[in-house]
Chain A
Amino acid sequence: MKTTVVIFPGSNCDRDVIHAIEKTTGTTVETAWHRDTALPKGTDLVVLPGGFSYGDYLRCGALSARSPIIEAVSEHAGKGGLVLGICNGFQVLLETHLLPGAVLTNKTLTFICSKCYLRVENNDSPFTSGYSSGQIVQFPIAHNDGLFFLPPDELDELEKNGQVLFRYCSRKGEMSESFNPNGSLNHIAGIVNRRKNVLGLMPHPERASGAILGGVDGITMWNSIKQWVERK
């Protein structure tokens, strides 16, 4: 499995992702700079990490989405390659339209950093094959603008197509406003494209990749991806 992590000016979680993936899968991760026009050869998984790329200026992820490297990322996705956008990375994917929707400021109008529970909606994707459908996992969130939004018709489409992969919930899997930290519509925490090779989510799986840090549910995601690549 060959992973490339894209680094934008202001990305903060690149080194965290590299460490989590290398430690979990035993593979070496490469990086691509925002000004590059091509990804390293043989890349299976592209990760757009969390952080405050371009200081969140104009709109979160807006300026990163117009970087030279994005064309190569789109091409990679077009060929069926895997793309994972975490937090700010998810925001970039939304701005590039590789995923549908947009994010608004959290309903609390504050930055929220906390562990939260998610329900894995379906395990029929390269990213979630290692989980069971309906499994409750714990990933931390840390963001100011994570309220996922889509106009009603497009939101229905998204749901009908089974593109919602993660939803905010309680420890027991209940869904309600009180277990939805940012107010995302339909409690949506992460979605895939129709082809299911591009995943974007606000929570951080790389922060749940070690017992010492308080959570191991992220490890399953890296292993799911590794398995998918090996089976290809």
Chain B
Amino acid sequence: MKYHVKVLTYLKDGVLDTQGKAVARSLTGAGHTSLLNCRVGKYIQLWIEADSSESAYREAERMCDEVLVNELIEDFSIEVDERQ
């Protein structure tokens, strides 16, 4: 079965996010004074052939561990699309 998996990767809390800071500055500069903080990450979409959504999740996790995420500086979250 084909599963659509959504992966979010983002810098760990202790890591300086210069991009996030610059984006925040841009937003507040453009008048969005309600903004408190901003961090910038990546959104990766995977379409995976698997027997079950748990299996698709594990596959995605493996991909994150091996390639998609630099675990020294990044954290990630995985969401398997329930609708098929």
- Measured CB to CB, the residues of A under 8 A from B are 58-59, 62-63, 66, 95, 101-102, 104-107, 109, 147, 149-151, 183
B77 on the A face (CB < 8 A): no
Report the separation of the CA atoms of residues A95 and B70 in the bound assembly, to the nearest whole angstrom.
Answer: 8
Whether B22 pairs with A104 at a CB distance below 8 angstroms is no
Residues of B within 8 A of A59 (CB): 70
Residues of A within 8 A of B14 (CB): 151
Looking at the complex, which one of B18, B66, B67, B68 makes contact with A104 (CB distance below 8 Å)? B18
Known A58-B67, A109-B22; judge A104-B72 contact (CB<8 A).
no
Whether A104 pairs with B70 at a CB distance below 8 angstroms is no
Query: CB-nearest residue of chain A relative to B16?
Result: A104
Report the separation of the CA atoms of residues A133 and B11 in the bound assembly, to the nearest whole angstrom.
Answer: 36
Report the separation of the CA atoms of residues A147 and B19 in the bound assembly, to the nearest whole angstrom.
Answer: 12
Provide 15 A-B residue pairs closer than 8 Å at the C-beta atoms, listed in order of the A residue.
Answer: A58-B68, A62-B67, A62-B70, A66-B66, A101-B72, A102-B70, A105-B18, A106-B18, A107-B18, A109-B19, A109-B22, A149-B16, A150-B72, A151-B14, A183-B16
Report the separation of the CA atoms of residues A151 and B11 in the bound assembly, to the nearest whole angstrom.
Answer: 13
Chain A interface SS verdict (over half): loop
Instruction: Report the minimal beta-carbon distance from A203 to chain B, rounded to whole angstroms.
Output: 20
Known A58-B68, A66-B67; judge A102-B73 contact (CB<8 A).
yes
B6-31 contact mask (Cβ, 8 Å, vs A): 1 or 0 = 00000100111011001000000000
Report the separation of the CA atoms of residues A95 and B71 in the bound assembly, to the nearest whole angstrom.
Answer: 10
Residues of B within 8 A of A109 (CB): 18-19, 22
Report the separation of the CA atoms of residues A65 and B1 in the bound assembly, to the nearest whole angstrom.
Answer: 31
Report the separation of the CA atoms of residues A95 and B14 in the bound assembly, to the nearest whole angstrom.
Answer: 19
Residues of B within 8 A of A62 (CB): 67, 70
Report the separation of the CA atoms of residues A62 and B64 in the bound assembly, to the nearest whole angstrom.
Answer: 12
Instruction: Report the minimal beta-carbon distance from A65 to chain B, rounded to whole angstroms.
Output: 9
Looking at the complex, which one of A63, A66, A104, A106 makes contact with B15 (CB distance below 8 Å)? A104
Interface-centre pick from B11, B14, B67 (highest chain A CB count, 10 A): B67
Query: CB-nearest residue of chain B relative to A63?
Result: B67
